[in-house]
Amino acid sequence: MSNNNQIFAINRDEVMAIVEARHDNPHHILGMHQCLKDLYVNVFAPDVAQVFVVDIANGDEYETEEIVSGFYTVKISGRKPFDYEIKTVCTTFDEAGDLVERARVFKDPYAFPYSVDPAKVVDIISGRTSFADGFKVKDIFGVRYITLNGVSGTSFCMEVKGARRVSVVGDFNNWDASVHQLRKIDYTDIFELFIPEVIKDSKYKFSVLFYDGREELWADPYAICYEKAPGNASMLTEFSYEYHDDEFVKARKKNKESLNIYEIHMSTFMRNEDGSVPGYAEFAGLACDHVADMGYNYVELMPVMEYREGDTWGYDTTGMFAPSSRFGTPVDFMRMIDVFHKKNIGVILDMVPVSDIDCICYWLETYHLDGVRLNDKNLAAKLKESLKNSDSYVIIDSLESELVDRVVSYMAVPPVHRGSFTECIGDCTCNMKEDTGIIALSHDDVAFDKGSFIDKLPGGYEDKYADLRVLYGLAMTLKGHKLFFMGQELGAFGGFDGVNPVDWSVLEFDANTYIQKYVRELNKLYASESALKADSDIVFADKDEGRTAVFARTCGADRLYVACNFDTKDVKNFGLRVDKAGSYKEIFSSDNVKFGGEGNNNKGTKKAADGVVTVTLPALSISVFKAVK
């Protein structure tokens, strides 16, 4: 509000800037202004017949004059500033076809001060903001429902470098960029406006006019909800949900001791009977049943933050605070997380496209996520520092691709040319981080025309499946947490393209059913044997004997021996060195007939003699031995 000594004049150039939607400081002319002993009230209201200024205290109305199309003004003599509302009158036709007048009364957006904290704005432009100090980006930017000067309303704020004018447009103002032009905060590229109305259930965007004449429509990158794709407008909304996962959250720290993660791309996991992509609610049921049946304890969702194009698999994020509308609403997403938790399955979200700690924490807290995958070690370290209870979250800062790449590359070589396995992998597995080191057979390994894992393996049909069992067995018994991409448990040919769904029909064939059963049993082995814990010790035998390799996994008094034969011939009378006398039993073998093997695995128990247990290593197999108590 102006002071008593201020001179105020209506500048025609400024009026036209309002009318033509190119003003960067509409508050300078719109609203109530004092000039000496008089008041001026200026209103921009296109497509109305009359505009009145209404004194809230006594109901007095002051009719305005339209000086340019849509721009109305009134001089109120001898009055000090007072609280007022705007009343507009339109002529329209009613349902009977008669011409009638309709009035609308509302608070003037241009009668309010800044809707953002100037001190925080100064901190932003000075680079002094920090999540650790309590700064949250959504306390400034995007849309907030707030109370300003005792009035409930909607605050809009956006930073746009090089903009001449920014407006908020939407269903509530007929997408007219001239109606709600934002005010540029001096010395910044930040624009803000408070609309004294709680606007909900409306689409909106920001209209941006640049100095070169370009005009663009921007969805709000800070929005918490968007219209359903392929539309990309932001949505003005609020939501709430009561979770029922207290017990799961309390036990979350224990649940992360050995991660067995099933990575999922939601759009291509499964399809409904009509071929449509399941929404969050349907997906929760389908995925939970499968993941629980297979024995995984976590799922990792490829990015579901709102994104632009489906063929980017979610990595071209456009709305980093909102679950993609393709699959439902934010509340639907919350319910989905709850369903997973009821099945004792944690949910990790791939947030590689996001570099904002504030945003990551928003997802963890709002959606009860159990962890995130990043691709930035520094960001992961800062995130752990920022989280008060970070030891209960899974923070994946990278995937141990080097080890897996070496294992896959080794298995891709024809057996006759395979050299030493231990020399091939070197010290990768021993140097793996104990907290979040992950052996990941991820989507990256089977995307971009790389083919599925069985596509990579040599030999005929039978040898490929035997080698696939060895590869999966190594992934599960080597040191580290586990990550397995959806559909690879079926042993189907063909890789991931982000378009075609997993072909579950291959389970009509015995070979694929055997592989799925094999992976399920591997998961049970990993979950039941403490020696296979992600951070338990691993020791390789001194040297390979032919195309074989042996290593031990140890946790306290528990020890397992893993023996691999990478050749196409059985190795009989193999001397497996053990650390204690007694009897030993093969507790797992990839050559078991129930997995599609030849059945040449070891039966019964075998006694150690001079620290050696004599066993058979079937061709192209992996076997696990354990002392019998």
Q: Is the pLDDT of residue 225 over 50?
A: yes
CB 128 within 8 Å of CB 120: no
- 454-507 pLDDT, tens digit per residue, is 999 999 999 999 999 999 999 999 999 999 999 999 999 999 999 999 999 999
Residues 549-562, mean pLDDT to the nearest whole number? 96
Residue with tokens 């002319």: 29
Q: pLDDT digit string (tens) for 317-334?
A: 999 999 999 999 999 999
Query: Could you tell me the pTM of the whole model?
Result: 0.93
H-type alpha helices, 41-133:
118-126
Query: Beta strand 371-373 with 346-350: parallel, antiparallel or unpaired?
Result: parallel
Name which residue leads in pLDDT, 581 or 230. Answer: 581
Exposure of 82 by Cβ count < 10 A (0-12 exposed, 13-18 middle, 19+ buried)?
A: middle
Q: How do residues 333-368 score in pLDDT, each as one tens digit? A: 999 999 999 999 999 999 999 999 999 999 999 999
Tell which residue, 265, 270, 286, has the closest CA to residue 501. Answer: 270
Is the distance from CB of 428 to CB of 416 less than 8 angstroms? no
| Residue whose C-alpha is closest to residue 282's, from 296, 297, 269 | 269
pLDDT in tens, 446-463: 999 999 999 999 999 999
Tell me the pLDDT of the chain averaged across its residues. 93
Q: Quick one: which H or E segment has residue 406? A: helix 401-412
Instruction: Report the pLDDT value the prediction gives residue 435, as an integer from 0 to 100.
Output: 52
| Digit-coded pLDDT (tens) for 248-279 | 999 988 878 899 999 999 999 999 989 999 99
Contact 30, 21 (CB under 8 A): no
CB atoms within 10 A of CB 313: 21
Averaged pLDDT, 24-50? 95
* d(C-alpha 76, C-alpha 40), whole Å: 6
Question: Using CA atoms in the order 11, 14, 19, 25, what is the torsion angle rounded to 10 degrees?
Answer: -140
**What's the pLDDT score for residue 430?**
62
Distance separating the N- and C-terminal Cα atoms of the chain: 86
**Given this model, what pLDDT does residue 2 score?**
45
Give the pLDDT band of residue 436 (cuts 50, 70, 90). Answer: low
Q: Which residue has the higher pLDDT, 92 or 293?
A: 293
Q: What is the DSSP letter of 610?
A: T
Both tokens of 189, joined, read 């590229």
Q: What is the pLDDT of residues 278-306, one digit of tens each?
A: 999 999 999 999 999 999 999 999 999 99
Cα separation, 189 vs 200, whole angstroms = 27
**Residue 349 pairs with which residues in a beta bridge?**
301, 372
- Tally of residues, the chain: 629
Predicted confidence (pLDDT) per residue in 376-433, tens digit: 999 999 999 888 767 889 999 877 678 899 999 999 999 999 999 998 888 776 666 6
pLDDT tens-digit series, residues 152-168: 999 999 999 999 999 99
Residue 43's pLDDT is what? 98
Sign of CA dihedral 328, 329, 334, 335: negative
Closest CA to 283 of 343, 327, 348: 327
- The SS3 assignment for 15 reads helix
- Exposure b/e, 232-262, CB count within 10 A at least 16 = b: bbbbbbeeebeeebeebbeebeebbebbbbb
Provide the pLDDT for residue 94. Answer: 81
Most confident by average pLDDT, 82-86, 428-432, 541-545: 82-86
d(CA 225, CA 232): 10
Residue 130 has pLDDT above 80, yes or no: no
